[in-house]
Structure 1
Amino acid sequence: MDYVYDYMLHLLTEYAKLLKFKPTVTKNTVELCSEAMACRASDNQNKFMMESLIKNPSNTARCVMPPPYDQTGLLRQLRRKNNAEKQVDNWENNYWINRTMPQ
């Protein structure tokens, strides 16, 4: 679960850099805490929410995205994917051809 929260924090942080507007807090804004949301939930939902509650930020470094493929690496990956799909198709075809019918 820690990895999910780290990923979401990284994702939202990077997304926030793309925003063209600055969010503001209005006078009518109401703060919602996770405990308030859990109070309205059923017993099981409340239990799972409280178990997955983050109590402090992670001490690990954020994830690093791998660099994009170069042209040859991309072609190699596409070729591997295509070969894997062909192999699965062959397995399916062989299954249906060699399947014995009950008598």
Structure 2
Amino acid sequence: MIIIAQVWGDQPQHPNLPYQALCIIRYESEGWTEVENINSNGTVDIGLFQINSTNWAMCGGKQHLKDPDANARCAYRIWRQAGETWNPWAAWTQRHNDGSPPCKVTNPD
């Protein structure tokens, strides 16, 4: 996914960030761009990164978030707003209890 490299790739202080982003996609949506999930609290998650409806307004609204580019850019804004952490994503917090990424990917360099 070229958009992942474009949005997440230029982070020297976080060299594994693009790989972590791919992990989030894997666990949140399995790469399905059009997927929508209704959460038990009534909010809705949409797209690759499963952007929650509480964040749709800051990203231009729901209609844009099935587009992979818009979804990735929105996810980046959320990541930055969360202090450059993956804490807003359940896939990260549920699988990150032991301090390792949710899937085994690293920078090949």
**TM bucket normalised to smaller:** under 0.3
Structure with greater helix share of residues: 1
The TM-score normalised by the length of structure 1 is 0.21
Q: Which has the larger radius of gyration?
A: 1
Structure with greater strand share of residues: 2
